[in-house]
Structure 1
Amino acid sequence: MTIHTKLAQLPTIDFSRFYGDASERAEFIKELTHVLHHHGFFYLTGHGVPQSLIDDVLAASKRFFALPEADKLSIEMVKSPHFRGYNRAGYERTRGEQDWREQLDINTEGQSVEAGPDTPWNRLYGANQWPEALPELKPLLLRYQAEVTRIGIDVLKAIALSLGQPENAFADIYEPSPSQLLKIIRYPGRDAAGSDQGVGAHKDGGFVTVLLQDTTPGLRIRTEDGEWIEAPPVPGTFIINSGELLELARNGFVRADVHAVTTPPSGSERYSVAFFLGARYDAVIPVISLPEELKRAERGVTVDPLNPIFREVGINHLKSRLRSHPDVAARHHPDLLHLLEKPVKA
C-alpha cells in the first residue's frame, strides 16, 4: 500500500465554542457546516478530556502491548463470538489485505443477547475480554470510553444543528445504548511488519470517530479530488471524522472520507486509540431532509461494491466485523458468511 501524500492542513475546531453563548455557538455551527461538507476530518481542541487521563491511557496501552505474548493471546479475539479481544499484527484485514497492527478491541460492557434469524446482530452483544496480567486496564479504558462517548454524542448534537436539525435529531437511533467500539493499537516498524499497510484504505462505518494519536505520524486522508494528505499528531487534540452512517443520513452532504495508515519507519512504532461511536444495532438509518440551501450541495452516497453499505445498522456493523476478522467469522459464525454477498441497499 504505497500512498503518496502532499502537505495540507486539516481544519481545527475549538469545541469549547459549542458551549459558549448564543452568538459564539451560532458562529461555531456555521463553521462546522463548512468543515463537514468539505473535509470530513478535523482536529478537535477544547474537548474537556483531562490530559492526565490521555497520558494514562497511552501509557497503559504501551504496557499492554509489552506483555508476554502468552498473556495477550489469553484474550485473543478468536475466543470471542462478540469480536472482542486481542489481535496479533496481520490478523485484521481491510479489503482482504492484512493490516499490520496489533490491537485490543472492547465495546459496550454487557451480557450476551439471544440472536434469532431476524436479529443476527445480537451476536455482537456480550462481555469484553480483559488481561489478568494488567488488572488496571479495565477501569481505565472504561473510564476513557465514557469520556469519548460524551465527546462523540456532543459532536453528533453539534452536527445535527449544523445541518438545520434539532440537536437530538439522531437520538432515536443511538439511545439508550450506542455502539462504543474502542481500540488500543500498536503499529510495529516497517522492519517488523509484512508490508507498509498499517491499515488499508477504508471509510469508518459509524457516526463519528474520536482518534487519539501519539507522537508518530502515519494517518493519511484521501480528499474528494483523489489527493492524499497527511494528518500528523497535534498535542492536545483528537482527530474527529464522520462515518458512513452520517453519509447515509445526509445523502452525501457530510463526507465520510477514505483514509489509511502506513506503518512507521523501521526501528520505530506508533500507538493510537480509536473510538467509533455508532447507532443501536436494531436501528435503521433514515434520510433526513436538509434545508434547501444545504440540500443543493448533496452529493449522494458513494457505493463500494467490495464494501456495501446497509441502512440496517446491525447488519452493516456485523458484515464489517465478519469481513475484517475472518478467523472469528469461521469459528463462530460460518452460517452468517452469506451476509457478505448481500446486495447493496441505497
Structure 2
Amino acid sequence: MSSIPHVDVALYEKDFASFVQTLGEGYEGNGFVALTNHGIPADDIHRALDITARLFDLPEDVKKKYHQEGGGGARGYTPFGTEIAKDAEHVDLKEFWHVGRELEGPQTDPALLPNVWPEELPEFKNQMLSLFKALDALGSRVLEGIAVYLKQPRDYFKTRTNMGNSILRPLHYPPIIDEGTPSVRAAAHEDINVITLLIGSREPGLEVLSKSGAWIPVTILEGAIVCNVGDMLQRLTNGVLPSTTHRVVNPPAPYSSKSRYSIPFFLHFNSEVMIDALDSCVTPENPKKDEPITANDYLMERLREIGLIK
C-alpha cells in the first residue's frame, strides 16, 4: 500500500498525455506524489545519503566553521536547533547544509550566492553538484507536465526556473535523546518553493495531512522520489494545486535512537519572476486569492517567518 499516488516518469517519453494526467490529478488531489522510474540511479542516491552521514559526523567545531552568521542559512551549514516552522512554538530537531546553483562567471542575481564546501570531505562537492543537476532536470520534467495540465505552454516554466535560487539540502535528524521533548524533527509546515523533490530517508517519520484532517504516514515504493507542491506553485495556481501540510515526527524505538538522513531539493523560480494567479486557475467559483509578488520578495518574507532571516 502507498499513502500518496505514484507517477511513472517513464511515461514522459512513452505517453506524455498520460504522464500529464496522472501527475496533475495526483497533485490536485493530494499535493504529493511519488515518482518512479525517474532515471536517477539508486547507487547515486545511496552514495549521496552516505556522504551526508559522513558530513554530519564531523565534529561540531568543524561544522560550525562553515556556518555563515547573518546569512540566513542560504549556503553552508545551519546548526541544530536553528529553524522553526511557521507559527510553531519549538525549534526543529535538525541540522542541515545548503547547496545552491553553481554558476561560472559574474552573477547579476545577488540571491545566487557562492557555495560553501567542507575541505574535510573533498568528494562532497562533486556528489552534491551531480545530484543537484539530476534533480533539477527531473524537476523540469515534472514542471512540463504541470504546465500542460494547467493549460499553459509545455515550456512555461523553462525560462522561469532555469536560473532559480534552487536549494539542495542534505539534512540530519540526530537521535532523540530526550523522549519527552516538546520539539519534533520537523514541525507541521508547507514548503515555500515551487516543487520539492525528496530522496531518502531510509527511516519512517514523514507524514502528510489529509483533507480529512488525519495525519497519514508516507509509504512509497523502494527507490521512488517524493515530490510535492510548494507555496509558490499553490499561489501561482490560485490554490488549484495545494501545498499540503507535512511533518517529520519523532519515531518510536528503535528508530528514535538512530539518526535520520534525507536530501530535499527545493526548486525555485528565478528571483524576478512575478507570482500571479494564472488566468486558467481563476474562475467565478475560485476567485483570485492573492496579489502579485516577486519570487524573491516572497522567499524573503517566508524566511523571516521561519527564523532563518532575522
TM-score (norm 2): 0.89
**CA separation in 2, counterparts of 1:286 and 1:172?**
16
Indicate which of 185, 188, 193 corresponds to 1:201.
188
Indicate which of 281, 298, 302 corresponds to 1:320.
302
Deviation at 1:170, TM superposition (A): 2.2
Partner SS for 1:320: helix
Q: 1:84 to 1:192 in 2, by over 3 A?
A: farther
- CA-to-partner distance for each residue in 1:16-73, whole Å, 9 max, x for gaps? 10111xxx32223222222121111011001111112111101100110111112111
Indicate which of 161, 166, 171 corresponds to 1:185.
171
Indicate which of 66, 69, 74 corresponds to 2:57.
66
**CA separation in 1, counterparts of 2:63 and 2:292?**
34
Deviation at 1:269, TM superposition (A): 1.9
**CA separation in 2, counterparts of 1:224 and 1:52?**
36
Query: 1:263 aligns to what?
Result: 250
Q: 1:34 to 1:81 in 2, by over 3 A?
A: closer
- CA-to-partner distance for each residue in 1:141-188, whole Å, 9 max, x for gaps? 01100000001111001111122221112234223x022111011112
**CA separation in 2, counterparts of 1:163 and 1:313?**
20
Does the 8 Å contact 1:160/1:167 carry over to 2? yes
Q: 1:112 to 1:221 in 2, by over 3 A?
A: farther
- Structure 2: 5+ residue runs without aligned partners? none
**CA separation in 1, counterparts of 2:183 and 2:219?**
17
Query: 1:11 aligns to what?
Result: 5
Partner SS for 1:137: helix
**CA separation in 2, counterparts of 1:69 and 1:61?**
15
> One-letter code of the match for 1:272?
S
> One-letter code of the match for 1:257?
T
* Corresponding residue pairs, total: 303
Partner SS for 1:211: strand
Does the 8 Å contact 1:219/1:259 carry over to 2? yes
**CA separation in 1, counterparts of 2:287 and 2:173?**
35
**CA separation in 2, counterparts of 1:290 and 1:258?**
24
> One-letter code of the match for 2:28?
H
- Structure 1: 5+ residue runs without aligned partners? 1-6, 115-121, 304-308, 331-346
In the alignment, is residue 86 of structure 1 matched against residue 77 of structure 2? yes
TM-score (norm 1): 0.80
Query: 2:230 aligns to what?
Result: 243
Query: 1:311 aligns to what?
Result: 293
Query: 2:19 aligns to what?
Result: 28
Query: 1:306 aligns to what?
Result: none
Over the aligned positions, Cα root-mean-square deviation in angstroms equals 2.6
Q: Aligned residues: percent identity?
A: 26
In the alignment, is residue 100 of structure 1 matched against residue 93 of structure 2? yes
- CA-to-partner distance for each residue in 1:209-258, whole Å, 9 max, x for gaps? 00012220111111223221111354211000011121111111111101
- CA-to-partner distance for each residue in 1:248-275, whole Å, 9 max, x for gaps? 1111111110111113343122110000
Indicate which of 272, 280, 283 corresponds to 1:282.
272
Does the 8 Å contact 1:188/1:264 carry over to 2? no
Query: 1:125 aligns to what?
Result: 112
> One-letter code of the match for 1:34?
E
Deviation at 1:79, TM superposition (A): 6.2
Query: 1:336 aligns to what?
Result: none
Q: 1:123 to 1:27 in 2, by over 3 A?
A: closer
Query: 1:161 aligns to what?
Result: 148
Query: 1:335 aligns to what?
Result: none
**CA separation in 2, counterparts of 1:276 and 1:38?**
21
Does the 8 Å contact 1:216/1:232 carry over to 2? no
Matches within 5 A, 1:106-145: 106-110=99-103, 123-145=110-132
